[in-house]
Structure 1
Amino acid sequence: MTSTQSPLRIGNVSASRTDRATATAEFLAAASLDVLALDMLSDEAMLELAEQRAEGGPGHERALLVQLGECLELIGTGGVRIVTNAGALDPGGLAEALRAMAADAGVRLSVASVDSGDVTDRAVELGLGEADVATVRHGAFGIARALGAGANVVVTGRVSREALVTGAAAAHHGWTPSALDALAGSVAVGHVLSGGPGATGVVDSSTDVTRSTDPVSGGYPIAEIAADGSAVVTRHPSAFGSVTVGTVTDQLLDGVAGARYAAPDVVLRLDSVRLAQEGTDRVRISGARGEPAPPVVASVAMTRGPERPRRVARPLAQAEAGHTVVLPGGERVAVPVPLETADIGPGELPTPWSPGAVPGGAPVMSVLGSVASVRRGVVGRGVNIAVWTWDDSAFAWLAGALTIDRFRELLPALECMETHRYLLPNLRAVNLVARPPRGATLDTGLGADLASVRLGIPGELLEFGP
């Protein structure tokens, strides 16, 4: 791996088969990047690709060929490197298709691939039940190894959500698995960038009142990641939308539980992350602390249902994950299991939090969304509902008002569900994690209307304009 003190400048395009063919080329033409991540997969996309493979088609996302076909020369000359999960169930097949396309265009392209983590044939054995598709979510060091070997393009399967960014940062800065704080910082950044335009204010579940522009046409995010893992999140220079502490907070709270967030390579102490507005469309992420990697990674199964897909997640021991990378020259290399692992600590804050001044004044009936925003995401087989705000005193009120009992009053669908509440004072968030009983189907719309519920809010708080 190459060690450098210059920041890694990395963008993320959440491309899909419905995007215009020139979307990636347009992004690269207007932004100077070291690496571009193309996050092209969702649970639903994995189901579609599994069906495509079952019918004799490829198990990878062919839209990548369309996207990169418009900018092959830039990639082949080393102007930018690409990391993408578009390989889905057949990264090797997509890597070969990329090489062939480049050769036809007279461009020499160095392509590596990381194994797909496909465990569909082992789904029952792994406790996932009968499934249409099941995969292990690999971490970052297969990607880092491929980039370190000189790959222009690295094709993976459905890796963990932050792995594309963390792998690129590890290769750029020469991090080893023991660089826990730096890795944790890049996990936080990758978590934000993985939401694509959500980091610029475009996401259905958010009402970030700090936005200053029309969010309808938001742009894709860019991060400048330093050698210590801290970073500045900004956006594509020609895009609409805006990057604020609010938009970054909202993305960071998607799919998390308590004070610790487990990635395959490190456990991020989410309670350590600090966000600060550094300038227009520039938010600094700093302070991240990392703890040893967990002994397990996630295996996730998806099955078509009569109304909506069924998702099941189970832990799988790191040693059984079978993580390998095929380097540009064809050599297959096993990615080592982390030397040091530790069980994930409890979700509660390591140090008890004491509230500051709580706003006073007679309660005024108003919608929760007038003083807070709501972010929902998937956590294993459950869901997290994070209520966050932009003011310390507003958080002090939220922390006291939104007890588990109050959540249950506001969301009757929580009845009979396992619920835990976690405070994240550094992000001014109260986070509820709810899991249905085994075998029950999760209501994917749970919490969608929480911002519109009416409750008594201290009058002083409503006088604070965001």
Structure 2
Amino acid sequence: MIRIGNFSGFYGDRLSAMREMLEGGDLDVLTGDYLAELTMLILARDRKEDPGIGYALTFLSQLRDCLRLALDRKVRIVTNAGGVNPAALVAAIRQVAADQGLSPTVALVRGDSLGPDSHAYLGAFGIARAMSADIVVTGRVTDASLVIGPAIARYGWDREAFDQLAGATVAGHVIECGTQATGGNYPFFTEIPDMLHPGFPIAEVFEDGSSVITKHPGTGGAVTVGTVTAQLVYEVQDARYAGPDVTTRLDTISLRPDGPDRVSISGVRGEPPPPDVKVSQTRVGGYRNEMTVVLTGLDIEAKADLFRHQFEAALRVRPQELDWTLARVDVPDAATEQQASALLTVVARDPSRRNADRAFSNAAVQVALGSYPGFFATSPPGSAHPYGVFTAGFVPQDAPVHEVVHDDGTVEPVEPPRVCRALEPAAGEHRAEEHGAGEHGAGEHGAGEATRRLPLGTIAGARSGDKGGDANIGVWVRDAGAYPWLENLISEERVRELLPETAALPLRITRLPNIHAINIVVEGLLGEGVAYHARFDPQAKGLGEWLRSRHVDIPVSLLSPEEAP
């Protein structure tokens, strides 16, 4: 096997993680994932202010601390910390090494940049060609490529080894977000024994593409079938998980325990990749300003209407977009003032900073003493700030000039895949009838069976996230016997009932019976992406927990003795 660890799941992750992983046990490769849609926008702005940066500065700090240790332990480092300026990061790494009297070999994978603010998601074969180096730096690649590339290099898989590539894709997807695979953001977190500092995950990838997910002994958190499932359903679309090298069938995954803090992944099947690769396009969409006022006690709706009309009348220039949200977090006869209060938020967006800046702030100030009783705001009116817009595009597989620049300066081209297949949606197989539940109505388990009305999260886990302007919620149950009930429960009608925000939006539901999960994609919930900030949870991180909190009728036979009457 090849033993591949992760030390970063995003730009800002735990700085000590690289050292923790290098000192914690044996590794062949250590990967660091820093890039998200929002990060690309941040790094692009950094580079515009200083052409010498545009990469993840924290990676350089980590490497400065750990370079000698990594070389001594013969652990190769693979990272997409290059961001929008990977060549500059390579130069900075060489300077750090020279300052310490070290001379690691550093390879650069390039070709993702397709113009200003436009980056293709490159695959893993460039990384594989670069693995003779001590450190491999990339720009935008798929997150899983950081794991797939070293596995290709170890086993010599070719472009048509689709099952092996798919298996490595799943392993990479599980560990790409760091401690989310070891108990972080886990819905049943109270069952994890030590959550103070969860250990970072490791994928042991085998020649047939199967893998074991684990972590260093003695580290916090846990690796269980549940924690792995939670990460598997994070930020996915349907049963076909498309990448530039392979389309992975998520409905073929098999999970099983393999000892303490060890979960085996096997049976993954792959198909040829699509003929096009995804392109991330991030740009500044304009300027945004926001203000939240507090409404306390009685007549909440009337107070909100009064302030809204006064505020809009006071605007000398109306911004292009003006959005209002009233959060009724107040309770009647509240024991504290905070519990008696609701929040009214107004958001302005406009191509012109002036129209979202002083005009917006002045309108809020002018009405302060002549509005509803008890008026106050959570903070003073602030200045307008740029907001970002994300757009997903696609280009043919051969459009990016995918290359490896080796340590000696030689350039090696990376050919695109020879075999491709147009991507078709896959909603997964409906198996409720196989489990004897297909004859019952939505949400039922058996005709006439007793139920209790409880939060869905009593027996179901969920994890949610963003894909551009769409949000996904992966919902699963840990007991195979409960899956037919969940499968019948989660319909478009029921999702709209449980999550009213989705009422007017397209939904896509995918069944993943092998892991007892269902994936829900809500199209357009996040507007034009995370940096657009369409809702107060702009990345839909809490969307799954909202769904788990909603009450449904759960068959008593699926409940524990403590939960049943």
Please, what TM-score do these two structures have when normalized by structure 2? 0.74
Tell me the residue number matched to 1:200. Answer: 182
Partners of 2:520 and 2:527 in 1: CA distance: 21
Q: Are the aligned partners of 1:40 and 1:85 in contact in 2 as well (CA < 8 Å)?
A: yes
Partners of 2:115 and 2:218 in 1: CA distance: 42
Deviates more, 1:402-411 or 1:308-317: 308-317
Tell me the residue number matched to 1:317. Answer: 396
Deviation at 1:386, TM superposition (A): 1.4
Which amino acid in 1 is paired with 2:53? P
Partners of 2:81 and 2:526 in 1: CA distance: 32
Which amino acid in 2 is paired with 1:72? L
Deviation at 1:23, TM superposition (A): 3.4
Partners of 1:156 and 1:412 in 2: CA distance: 41
* Mapping for residues 331-346 of structure 1, pairs under 5 Å: 331-346=410-425
Question: Are 2:146 and 1:146 aligned?
Answer: no
Partners of 1:300 and 1:465 in 2: CA distance: 48
Question: Are 2:493 and 1:405 aligned?
Answer: yes
Deviation at 1:300, TM superposition (A): 1.3
RMSD, matched Cα: 2.3
Q: Are the aligned partners of 1:210 and 1:246 in contact in 2 as well (CA < 8 Å)?
A: no
Partners of 1:437 and 1:278 in 2: CA distance: 38
Q: Are the aligned partners of 1:202 and 1:217 in contact in 2 as well (CA < 8 Å)?
A: no
Q: Closer, same or farther in 2 for the Cα pair 1:213/1:309, shift >3 Å?
A: farther
Tell me the residue number matched to 1:250. Answer: 230
Tell me the residue number matched to 1:427. Answer: 515
Q: Are the aligned partners of 1:14 and 1:196 in contact in 2 as well (CA < 8 Å)?
A: yes
Q: Closer, same or farther in 2 for the Cα pair 1:257/1:42, shift >3 Å?
A: closer
The DSSP-based 3-state class of the residue aligned with 1:310 is: strand
Tell me the residue number matched to 1:373. Answer: 461
Q: Closer, same or farther in 2 for the Cα pair 1:236/1:249, shift >3 Å?
A: same
The DSSP-based 3-state class of the residue aligned with 2:158 is: coil
Which amino acid in 2 is paired with 1:69? R
Which amino acid in 2 is paired with 1:139? G
Q: Are the aligned partners of 1:49 and 1:60 in contact in 2 as well (CA < 8 Å)?
A: yes
Partners of 2:431 and 2:425 in 1: CA distance: 13
Which amino acid in 1 is paired with 2:240? R
Which amino acid in 1 is paired with 2:134? N
Tell me the residue number matched to 2:150. Answer: 168
Identify the match of residue 237 of structure 1 among 200, 208, 217: 217
Q: Closer, same or farther in 2 for the Cα pair 1:297/1:354, shift >3 Å?
A: farther
Partners of 2:62 and 2:94 in 1: CA distance: 14
Deviations, residues 170-221 of structure 1 (Å, cap 9, x unaligned): 1111111111111000000000001100100102xx3136944133421100
Q: Are the aligned partners of 2:391 and 2:468 in contact in 1 as well (CA < 8 Å)?
A: yes
Q: Closer, same or farther in 2 for the Cα pair 1:352/1:448, shift >3 Å?
A: closer
Q: Are the aligned partners of 2:470 and 2:526 in contact in 1 as well (CA < 8 Å)?
A: no
> Which has the greater radius of gyration?
2
The DSSP-based 3-state class of the residue aligned with 1:67 is: helix
Q: Which runs of 5+ in 2 are unaligned?
A: 290-386, 438-444
Partners of 2:75 and 2:232 in 1: CA distance: 26
Partners of 2:14 and 2:175 in 1: CA distance: 21
Identify the match of residue 213 of structure 1 among 193, 198, 203: 193
Deviations, residues 262-290 of structure 1 (Å, cap 9, x unaligned): 11100111111100011110000000101
Partners of 1:201 and 1:23 in 2: CA distance: 16
Deviations, residues 7-47 of structure 1 (Å, cap 9, x unaligned): 00010011667567543123201121000001122333222
* Mapping for residues 7-18 of structure 1, pairs under 5 Å: 7-14=1-8
Number of positions where the alignment pairs a residue of Structure 1 with one of Structure 2? 445
Q: Closer, same or farther in 2 for the Cα pair 1:21/1:350, shift >3 Å?
A: closer
Tell me the residue number matched to 1:327. Answer: 406
**Residue identity (%):** 40
Which amino acid in 1 is paired with 2:480? D
Partners of 2:477 and 2:26 in 1: CA distance: 33
The DSSP-based 3-state class of the residue aligned with 2:398 is: helix
Q: Which runs of 5+ in 1 are unaligned?
A: 1-6, 122-132
Q: Closer, same or farther in 2 for the Cα pair 1:377/1:440, shift >3 Å?
A: closer
Tell me the residue number matched to 2:359. Answer: none
Q: Are the aligned partners of 1:34 and 1:79 in contact in 2 as well (CA < 8 Å)?
A: yes
Partners of 2:403 and 2:279 in 1: CA distance: 16
Deviations, residues 330-362 of structure 1 (Å, cap 9, x unaligned): 112221110000012331236866341454431
Tell me the residue number matched to 1:125. Answer: none
Tell me the residue number matched to 1:228. Answer: 208
Partners of 1:72 and 1:338 in 2: CA distance: 34
Tell me the residue number matched to 2:249. Answer: 269
Q: Closer, same or farther in 2 for the Cα pair 1:295/1:275, shift >3 Å?
A: same
Q: Closer, same or farther in 2 for the Cα pair 1:295/1:20, shift >3 Å?
A: closer
Which amino acid in 1 is paired with 2:401? G
Question: Are 2:525 and 1:449 aligned?
Answer: no
Tell me the residue number matched to 2:433. Answer: 354
Deviates more, 1:8-17 or 1:389-398: 8-17
Deviations, residues 241-265 of structure 1 (Å, cap 9, x unaligned): 0000000000011111222111110
Q: Are the aligned partners of 1:90 and 1:116 in contact in 2 as well (CA < 8 Å)?
A: no
Q: Closer, same or farther in 2 for the Cα pair 1:210/1:260, shift >3 Å?
A: farther
* Mapping for residues 66-145 of structure 1, pairs under 5 Å: 66-77=61-72, 79-115=74-110, 117-121=112-116, 133-145=117-129
Deviation at 1:116, TM superposition (A): 5.7
Identify the match of residue 290 of structure 1 among 246, 270, 274: 270
